[in-house]
Amino acid sequence: MATVYRSVKVVFQNSTNVSLTVQGVATLRGQWTDKLAPKQGDEITEQSAATWGSESVTIGSGTHAFVRLGSLHGYTKVTWYLPWVGEFSFTHDHPEGLHLEVTTDDREPDAVVVSVTLQARRGHCDEGGGRGGPRP
């Protein structure tokens, strides 16, 4: 069993009333964690969750991955990057009318956990354009 040097676990909660389908995935650096790899065509039904993970088993290398989901509303994409040295980053794009709440637990800087909740927007205005982290 290889040593894991960097890892990211993403818990994605679909709190909408529509199903989401995984339509694109990639690890740009590192690999998917065993049993936490998203697969093309996977479905996240309304009011359910999925967990994904990526990791690095190479000294001096981090992990970088994304998952793209399609729904009746459009596409939602989440991307994360945990470099060998430097700050963890998490970005997202989502359709108008939906909102992503993101909470990052980086108390263990080499093993980050991200909680993401997709829900219908409560307000009428989307300042910030659907990218980045949590909104104030």
Instruction: Give 19's contacts (C-beta < 8 A, 6+ positions apart).
Output: 43, 44, 45, 46, 71
Residue with tokens 């818990």: 11
DSSP annotation of 3 reads P
Q: Cβ atoms within 10 A of the Cβ of 126, count?
A: 14
Positive or negative torsion for Cα 37, 4, 55, 117: positive
> Which tens digit of pLDDT belongs to each residue from 33-88?
999 999 999 999 999 999 999 999 999 999 999 999 999 999 999 999 999 999 99
pLDDT higher than 90, residue 132 = no
User: What is the total residue count of the chain?
Assistant: 136
Could you tell me if 69 and 38 are in contact, meaning their C-beta atoms sit under 8 angstroms apart? no
* Structural domains of the chain sorted by starting position, each given as residue range(s) with its CATH number in brackets: 7-120 (2.60.270.50)
Structure confidence at residue 1 (pLDDT): 79
pLDDT score recorded for residue 134:
41
Per-residue pLDDT reduced to its tens digit, 88-120: 999 999 999 999 999 999 999 999 999 999 999
- At 123, is the pLDDT very low, low, confident or very high (cuts 50, 70, 90)? low
**What does the pLDDT read at residue 125?**
38
Number of helices (H) and strands (E) in the chain: give both, helices first: 0, 10
Return the pLDDT at 22: 98
Q: What is the pLDDT of residues 13-40, one digit of tens each?
A: 999 999 999 999 999 999 999 999 999 9
Residue 121's pLDDT is what? 82
Per-residue DSSP letters for 80-121? EEE-SSS--EEEEE--TTEEEEEEEE-SSTTEEEEEEEEEE-
